[in-house]
């Protein structure tokens, strides 16, 4: 197994900014723009994708292109020009937040996941749209519309192989189509969405790879509501139930900080989580060491022993992946951008 050392003080070998790409709090705190109305429920007629009139689809495409230009070129004026009067009144001054959030993701282009044209029996009713997708990818999109005619565009914003969902709900006004709802969230990482990571976690668990299962379910959980409360995977409760179950099992099995008693220096593992680089997600093991971080030779010797213990304790952590990352610290970091750590990259052999 190859190992590469890096000193956090002088920079590290990880590619890209992890916090810019994968920050659970950022992804779980979705920015919402919506109009609140009293809820009524009624039947409505809708058409999906190719069944929608071509002229209407083209009209919305023109608006979507304009919206995409606005959010990716930091143009508040363009975005506000597309908003409905009610949305503009309530959230117009805050719309730069979603522009800044999307702009920070270096979006390359967008594609359409699904689109719906809805004709309701009356305004101010609750609309529920079944996707009709097969298997785990079946979802329901629900929203309340102040208009009789609505159009839902679920746009996938592409970012170097990853995708964010921009859910746009237009309402038909006398002046034309205007945005009533604008919602942004993470949809997929490295080509896998919430159901994909759930199935990976299931497969991990069946093999006895509990840590891998928990890590993959953490990704599934981040991606579970790409449009917040408007989006519900039909099997979403199953995903959550499984995730809660294995997390409880892992918390019962692994008590952190975990002292590695078989190593003379007694390092303590205090965190195991997913680290992201351009190649994908890989396990990161953070541990406390009593060795001075300047004594790199001693740190390397200790880390060789830590790796063996980690492979033994966390079954499967060294299987079916290219790397395991390690951070060694003299104290649990409060601010990882300023506090000194020493890192190792364990490049795993193919037979693992």
Alpha helices in 271-322 (DSSP H): 296-313
CA–CA distance, 117 with 105 (Å, rounded to integer)? 29
Q: Check residue 23 and give its pLDDT.
A: 44
Would you mind telling me the total number of residues written for the chain in this entry? 352
Q: Please, what are the domains in the chain?
A: 2-18+255-347 (no CATH), 23-188 (3.10.450), 194-223+234-249 (no CATH)
Residue carrying the six token digits 């996938």:
156
Q: Check residue 61 and give its pLDDT.
A: 98
CA–CA distance, 347 with 325 (Å, rounded to integer)? 9
Q: Residue 38: is its pLDDT beyond 60?
A: no
CA–CA distance, 155 with 46 (Å, rounded to integer)? 18
Concatenated DSSP letters of 168-213: EEEEEETTEEEEEEEEEEEEEBTTB-HHHHHHHHHHHHHHT-HHHH
Which of the two residues, 91 and 328, has the higher pLDDT score? 328
Q: Residue 19: is its pLDDT beyond 80?
A: no
Q: If you average pLDDT over every residue of the chain, what do you get?
A: 86
Q: Residue 202: is its pLDDT beyond 80?
A: yes
DSSP character at residue 226: T
User: What does the pLDDT average to over 201-227?
Assistant: 97
Q: Check residue 337 and give its pLDDT.
A: 67
DSSP character at residue 105: T
CA–CA distance, 35 with 17 (Å, rounded to integer)? 35
User: What does the pLDDT average to over 145-169?
Assistant: 93
pLDDT in tens, 286-339: 999 999 999 999 999 999 999 999 999 999 999 999 999 999 999 988 876 677
The values of phi and psi at residue 11, to 5°, are 100, 165
Q: Residue 6: is its pLDDT beyond 70?
A: no
pLDDT in tens, 240-290: 999 999 999 999 999 999 999 999 999 999 999 999 998 999 999 999 999
Q: Check residue 25 and give its pLDDT.
A: 36
Q: Check residue 240 and give its pLDDT.
A: 96
pLDDT in tens, 97-112: 778 878 777 888 999 9
CA–CA distance, 250 with 215 (Å, rounded to integer)? 11
């Amino acid at each position: 197994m190859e190992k590469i050392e890096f000193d956090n003080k002088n920079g590290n070998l990880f590619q890209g900014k992890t916090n810019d790409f994968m920050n659970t709090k950022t992804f779980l705190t979705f920015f919402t723009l919506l109009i609140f109305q009293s809820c009524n429920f009624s039947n409505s007629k809708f058409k999906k994708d190719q069944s929608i009139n071509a002229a209407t689809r083209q009209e919305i495409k023109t608006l979507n292109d304009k919206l995409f230009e606005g959010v990716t070129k930091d143009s508040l004026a363009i975005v506000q020009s597309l908003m409905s009067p009610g949305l503009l009144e309530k959230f117009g001054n805050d719309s730069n937040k979603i522009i800044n959030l999307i702009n920070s993701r270096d979006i390359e282009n967008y594609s359409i996941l699904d689109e719906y044209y809805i004709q309701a029996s009356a305004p101010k009713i609750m609309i529920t749209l079944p996707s009709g997708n097969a298997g785990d990818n079946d979802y329901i999109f629900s929203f309340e519309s102040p208009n009789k005619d609505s159009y839902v565009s679920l746009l996938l914003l592409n970012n170097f192989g990853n995708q964010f969902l921009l859910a746009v709900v237009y309402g038909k006004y006398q002046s034309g189509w205007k945005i009533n709802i604008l919602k942004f969230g993470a949809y997929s990482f490295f080509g896998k969405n919430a159901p994909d990571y759930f199935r990976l976690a299931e497969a991990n668990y069946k093999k006895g790879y509990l840590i891998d299962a928990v890590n993959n379910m953490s990704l599934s959980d981040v991606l579970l509501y790409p449009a917040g409360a408007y989006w519900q995977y039909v099997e979403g409760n199953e995903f959550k139930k499984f995730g809660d179950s294995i997390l409880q099992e892992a918390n019962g099995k692994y008590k952190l900080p975990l002292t590695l008693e078989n190593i003379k220096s007694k390092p303590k593992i205090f965190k195991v989580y997913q680290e992201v680089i351009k190649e994908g997600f890989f396990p990161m093991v953070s541990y406390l060491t009593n060795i001075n971080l300047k004594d790199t030779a001693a740190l390397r010797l200790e880390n060789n022993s830590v790796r063996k213990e980690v492979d033994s304790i966390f079954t499967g952590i060294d299987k079916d992946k290219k790397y395991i990352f390690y951070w060694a610290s003299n104290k649990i970091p409060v601010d990882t951008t300023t506090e000194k750590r020493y890192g190792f990259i364990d490049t795993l052999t193919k037979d693992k």
